[in-house]
């Protein structure tokens, strides 16, 4: 057993864990953060994405012991009194159906926007390539991220970056 | 992003006065975007134990012995079981669709006894204190196998002398169907096109892996499962185990997608129930993705031999379809019926003189197949839409013109097809005209010609798919004629609460479709109550005791109509009580949404909330009137529903690398009346992505020993955001005449339409190079090989030889041997 001290969504934890325990299992089964789901076992799907000291990681490919001393933010800690703009945008744009990929998708998108606050549509598509969704065809996810980006930077969603790909809007 | 500006599209919210048709954001989303979800794997019960299963590493083997002694001694292990230990109680997994009287339907024990028939079949199980201990103990189990020959190829499996998957042989059934004089149609036909297509094997890949929790308390059993079908599962668990049905409760909590893969009664569910009963403790099993890719049923996997006869002017004479359908190792819940759902769809939207269909179900030593989004209908639509493009090319006609030459004209509805279905409504002309316009079809054809003339290395192809589907499964009478073991009705009940709020109980079992939102919209209109005042309950057999669940684009067209009928009963009950409250005769009242009022004196009236409260108090009800407005309805549809549409795909194909890029994709769908355009668009987008996945990326690949090599999401390629274009979606709206809402299904439409549209575009790009087919998925490697083979004047491979992953094509002209698709298929993933 190894001892770790972590902060999860602002709450401090001090626990003994097996060296082999995955961070996602620690979050779900020790810290009770079941909002972060597991979609695969090869770090392809991204459903388990969380922020580890501000950077997005797939928590199935990090050991709990590697998170010692870190601050972790999950989907359950993203809202700060009110929903994060990404959470609102995902709802407004119907960017989720079953919702299983959604926590990871939102956390990955939050890191994407930290890195690139006004991405183009193509940059969003490429930035979320590591997160799989089987329901939405991604179209509304991309729309939601662009909407949140606009809101977070204080501009309207239609005021798209000049780099945006042309002629791509849905007709209906 | 979804501004509605196309003429004829559903009006924007400002023009909508009813809830039906309104772009409502979903009620479901609040918990899903905040992580307050209740996936089955989130459930923890006091004293809960964890189950892990040992699975066969052989495609086919005899089990000589299973030694569990070391596993039972491992730390934290409570129990370990082999198939022999459970033989007396585990029964056989059900197949509810014996399609012919003489079908071979082998026993299918949840845990193998004696013989294993696919890699991933369960051989033993361990129950331990936690999931890590259970997984560790699997390592300590010693199984002695005698390998047997695998059976991997359907045609070889049917040949004399083939090793047998089951003692009764490798043929499960042969199901013929014919209409019209097929011999006459082909005799002296000026044009006959003959093709063989391979529908590759797919892995449904719902994002939530399966999970099940089962608790046994006294003689009551509660199962939480990531299932699409809590009601059918409850019934089947009772039938398999003999536990009385009334002692079993099944709950489908939040379920993370299904696409048919969770329309199943699984070995893991039955075993969880048996282990919970044996141990008297709650047990949980959650699968890993690698485990699930082997063990969740697969989809598609057909060889389609198609013959089409036509006149020189393009008129279709006859269509002959000969299918081989891979059942895998066992028949699961609806395995044999899936290809037969396609039997009525090969003729699609076209008129013809004659049609014949034969399907042979074949056993192989692979994971069983069963329903995957579209289930039989995508396969049929692919074949006919590919054939229509081939015929158009043969005749030198425009593909859309050929279709128009043959499709059912809008004034001909209702129309009974050669396959015997009566299509109630549709307007193929309108959908096609709209799609052409948005796509800018003529401009793209011009650009294509220019690129061809210039010999551009990147060629442009235009692919067409004018699909319909039979959905809204299904009229019980027809299911009976097809030997299905159950009906196709749906149930709903509506409870008026004293405060005027409404609880709706539905037998549909949503897992991403947005029923809580759409059902609230329907009730809001029918009862005249605010959308926010409706609560929708589902997915728990104790809360919703009656239902047929969710699959086959049936929820709205069947479950939604049950809901409408239940609402109508509430309104009629309220009329009698309102009349008593207003001291008038019931027939003197008229209904406007939410209120009964006196005809000619509209100020005199009672709202549904006032009536609900008076009914609750029940102080002054007329004699013989029960103090309840609550109503229920069970609805059995008279007919299927037939959504249709025209999809157009423009693909750029790099003839030097084989890379396919979708440049634009237009989907004009006619799904009848739209309840929520936001949800409909979402269903179309997701369906398109899955259909495009089949066309370009996805394939379950087995090696020569019968090992599935695409066990992870690194090997089984799902489309990502970067792989897909921005879809252009639009609608025409021809209401269904077969139901009071005018609705048709939408869940499967995108998947059904898009696969042929994309592949037709790829072929269209390459036709001048002599390419007439590329087996799916059209990976860069396969496209490149098809181009090279065409240059050598050789026919393309039919797709029987799988290609695991896009290999980098050689830069130079390759040797003939390298072009054989049989080579290189075991290369790195």
- Of B32, B681, B713, which has the smallest distance from its Cβ to A96's Cβ? B32
A65-105 pLDDT tens trace:
999 999 999 999 999 889 999 999 999 999 999 999 999 99
User: A170–B728: do the CB atoms touch at under 8 Å?
Assistant: yes
Chain B residues lying within 8 Å of A31, measured CB to CB:
none
d(Cα B89, Cα B448) in Å, to the nearest integer?
A: 65
Residue given tokens 């690129």 in the structure block: B451
Chain B residues lying within 8 Å of A47, measured CB to CB:
207
Split at pLDDT 50, 70, 90, the class of B813 is very low
- Beta-carbon contacts below 8 Å between A and B: 215
Burial B283-305 (b: 16+ CB within 10 A, else e): bbbbbbbbbbbbbbbbbbbbbbb
d(Cα B483, Cα B158) in Å, to the nearest integer?
A: 25
- Of A39, A128, A168, which has the smallest distance from its Cβ to B721's Cβ? A128
Tally of residues, chain B: 829
Encoding tokens for residue B208? 């939530």
pTM surpassing 0.80? Answer: yes
Query: Residue B799: is its pLDDT beyond 70?
Result: no
| pLDDT for the residue numbered B793 | 84
Encoding tokens for residue B42? 């989130």
User: A76–B35: do the CB atoms touch at under 8 Å?
Assistant: yes
Split at pLDDT 50, 70, 90, the class of B796 is low
Min Cα distance B205 → chain A (Å) is: 7
Query: Residue B125: is its pLDDT beyond 70?
Result: yes
Encoding tokens for residue B402? 């050929």
d(Cα B512, Cα B505) in Å, to the nearest integer?
A: 17
Nearest to B646 by CA among B447, B391, B429, B423: B429
| pLDDT for the residue numbered B795 | 67
Query: Residue B753: is its pLDDT beyond 60?
Result: yes
Min Cα distance A67 → chain B (Å) is: 20
- Of B37, B721, B730, which has the smallest distance from its Cβ to A141's Cβ? B721
Encoding tokens for residue B242? 């003999």
- Of A35, A37, A132, which has the smallest distance from its Cβ to B718's Cβ? A132
Query: Residue B324: is its pLDDT beyond 90?
Result: yes
B737-740 long-range contacts, CB within 8 A, separation 24+:
B737/B414, B737/B424, B737/B425, B738/B424, B738/B637, B738/B638, B738/B639, B738/B641, B739/B557, B739/B561, B739/B637, B739/B641, B740/B561, B740/B564
Tell me which residues of chain A, numbers 68 to 127, contact chain B at a CB-CB cutoff of 8 Å: 74-76, 79, 83, 87, 90-94, 96-103, 106, 121, 124-126
Chain A residues lying within 8 Å of B3, measured CB to CB:
169-170
ipTM of the complex: 0.94
User: A83–B33: do the CB atoms touch at under 8 Å?
Assistant: yes
CA dihedral B255, B260, B261, B267 (to 10 degrees): 100
Give me the sheet containing B316-328, strands edge to edge: B171-179, B354-363, B316-328, B299-310, B191-202
Helix, strand or coil for residue A126?
A: helix
| pLDDT for the residue numbered B16 | 55
B619-646 pLDDT tens trace:
999 999 999 999 999 999 999 999 999 9
B430-480 pLDDT tens trace:
999 999 999 999 999 999 999 999 999 999 999 999 999 999 999 999 999
| pLDDT for the residue numbered B597 | 98
Chain B residues lying within 8 Å of A130, measured CB to CB:
720
């Amino acid at each position: 057993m190894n001892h770790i001290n972590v902060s999860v969504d602002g709450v401090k934890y001090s626990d003994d864990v097996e060296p082999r325990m995955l961070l996602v299992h620690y979050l779900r089964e020790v810290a009770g953060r079941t909002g972060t789901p597991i979609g695969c076992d090869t770090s392809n799907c991204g459903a388990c994405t969380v922020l580890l000291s501000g950077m997005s990681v797939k928590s199935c490919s990090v050991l709990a012991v590697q998170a010692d001393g870190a601050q972790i933010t999950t989907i359950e800690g993203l809202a700060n009194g009110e929903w994060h703009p990404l959470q609102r945008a995902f709802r407004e744009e119907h960017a989720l159906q079953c919702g299983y990929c959604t926590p990871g998708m939102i956390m990955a998108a939050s890191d994407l926007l930290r890195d690139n606050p006004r991405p183009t549509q193509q940059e969003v598509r490429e930035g979320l390539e590591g997160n799989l969704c089987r329901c939405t065809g991604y179209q509304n996810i991309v729309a939601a991220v662009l909407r949140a980006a606009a809101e977070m930077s204080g501009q309207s969603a239609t005021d798209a970056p000049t780099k945006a790909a042309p002629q791509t809007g849905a007709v209906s | 992003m979804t501004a509605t500006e196309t003429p004829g599209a559903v009006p924007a919210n400002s023009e909508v006065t009813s809830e039906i048709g309104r772009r409502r954001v979903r009620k479901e989303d609040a918990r899903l975007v905040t992580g307050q979800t209740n996936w089955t794997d989130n459930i923890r019960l006091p004293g809960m134990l964890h189950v892990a299963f040992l699975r066969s590493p052989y495609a086919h083997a005899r089990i000589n012995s299973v030694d569990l002694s070391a596993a039972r001694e491992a730390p934290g292990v409570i129990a370990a079981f082999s198939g022999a230990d459970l033989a007396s109680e585990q029964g056989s997994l059900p197949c509810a669709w014996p399609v012919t009287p003489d079908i071979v339907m082998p026993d299918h024990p949840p845990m193998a006894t004696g013989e294993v028939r696919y890699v991933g079949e369960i051989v033993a199980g361990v129950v331990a204190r936690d999931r890590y201990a259970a997984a560790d103990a699997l390592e300590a189990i010693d199984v002695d196998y005698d390998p047997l020959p695998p059976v991997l190829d359907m045609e070889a499996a049917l040949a004399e002398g083939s090793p047998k998957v089951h003692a009764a042989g490798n043929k499960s059934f042969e199901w013929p169907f014919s209409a019209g004089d097929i011999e006459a149609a082909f005799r002296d036909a000026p044009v006959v096109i003959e093709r063989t297509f391979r529908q590759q094997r797919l892995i449904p890949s719902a994002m939530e892996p399966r999970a099940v929790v089962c608790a046994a308390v006294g003689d009551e059993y509660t199962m939480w499962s990531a299932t699409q079908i809590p009601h059918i599962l409850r019934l089947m668990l009772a039938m398999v185990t003999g536990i009385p049905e009334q002692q079993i409760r099944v709950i489908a909590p939040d379920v993370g997608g299904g696409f048919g893969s969770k329309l199943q009664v699984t070995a893991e569910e039955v075993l969880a129930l048996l282990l919970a009963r044996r141990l008297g403790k709650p047990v949980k099993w959650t699968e890993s993705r690698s485990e699930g890719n082997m063990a969740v049923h697969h989809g598609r996997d057909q060889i389609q031999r198609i013959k089409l006869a036509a006149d020189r002017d393009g008129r279709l004479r006859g269509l002959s379809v000969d299918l081989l359908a891979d059942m895998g190792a066992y028949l699961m819940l609806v395995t044999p019926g899936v290809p037969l759902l396609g039997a009525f769809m090969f003729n699609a939207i076209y008129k013809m003189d004659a049609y014949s269909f034969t399907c042979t179900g074949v056993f192989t030593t692979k994971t069983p197949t069963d329903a995957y989004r579209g289930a039989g209908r995508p396969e049929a639509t692919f074949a006919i839409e590919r054939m229509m493009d081939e015929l158009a090319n043969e005749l030198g006609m425009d593909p859309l013109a050929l279709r128009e030459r043959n499709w059912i004209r809008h004034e001909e509805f209702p129309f009974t097809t050669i396959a015997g279905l009566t299509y109630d409504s549709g307007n193929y002309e309108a959908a096609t005209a709209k799609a052409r316009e948005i796509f800018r079809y003529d401009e793209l054809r011009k650009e294509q010609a220019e690129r061809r003339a210039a010999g551009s290395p990147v060629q442009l192809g235009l692919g067409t798919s004018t699909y319909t589907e039979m959905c809204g499964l299904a009229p019980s009478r027809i299911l009976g004629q097809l030997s299905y073991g159950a009906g196709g009705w749906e149930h709903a009940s509506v409870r008026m609460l004293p405060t005027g709020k409404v609880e709706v109980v539905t037998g549909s079992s949503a897992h991403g479709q947005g029923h809580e939102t759409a059902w609230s919209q329907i009730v809001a209109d029918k009862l005249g109550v605010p959308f926010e005042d409706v609560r929708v309950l589902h997915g728990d057999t104790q809360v919703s005791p009656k239902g047929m669940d969710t699959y086959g684009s049936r929820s709205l067209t069947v479950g939604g109509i049950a809901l409408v009928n239940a609402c109508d009963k509430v309104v009629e009950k309220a009329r009698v009580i309102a009349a008593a409250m207003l001291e008038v005769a019931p027939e003197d009242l008229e209904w406007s949404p939410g209120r009964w009022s006196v005809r000619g004196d509209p100020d005199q009236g009672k709202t549904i909330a006032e009536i609900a409260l008076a009914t609750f108090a029940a102080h002054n009800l007329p004699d013989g009137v029960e103090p309840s407005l609550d109503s229920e309805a069970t609805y059995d549809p008279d007919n299927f529903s037939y959504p249709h549409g025209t999809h157009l795909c423009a693909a750029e194909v790099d003839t030097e690398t084989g890379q396919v890029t979708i440049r634009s994709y237009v989907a004009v769908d006619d799904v009848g009346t739209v309840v929520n355009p936001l949800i409909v668009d979402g269903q179309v987008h997701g369906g398109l992505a899955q259909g495009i996945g089949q066309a370009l990326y996805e394939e379950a690949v087995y090696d020569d020993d019968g090992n599935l090599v695409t066990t992870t999401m690194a090997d089984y390629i799902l489309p990502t955001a970067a792989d897909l274009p921005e879809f252009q979606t639009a609608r025409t709206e021809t209401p269904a005449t077969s139901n009071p809402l005018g609705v048709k299904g939408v869940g499967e439409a995108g998947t059904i339409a898009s696969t042929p549209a994309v592949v037709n575009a790829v072929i269209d790009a390459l036709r001048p190079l002599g390419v007439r087919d590329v087996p799916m998925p059209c990976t860069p490697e396969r496209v490149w090989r098809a181009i090279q083979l065409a240059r050598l004047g050789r026919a393309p491979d039919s797709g029987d030889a799988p290609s695991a992953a896009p290999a980098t094509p050689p830069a130079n002209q390759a040797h003939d041997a390298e072009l054989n698709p049989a080579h290189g298929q075991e290369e790195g993933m």
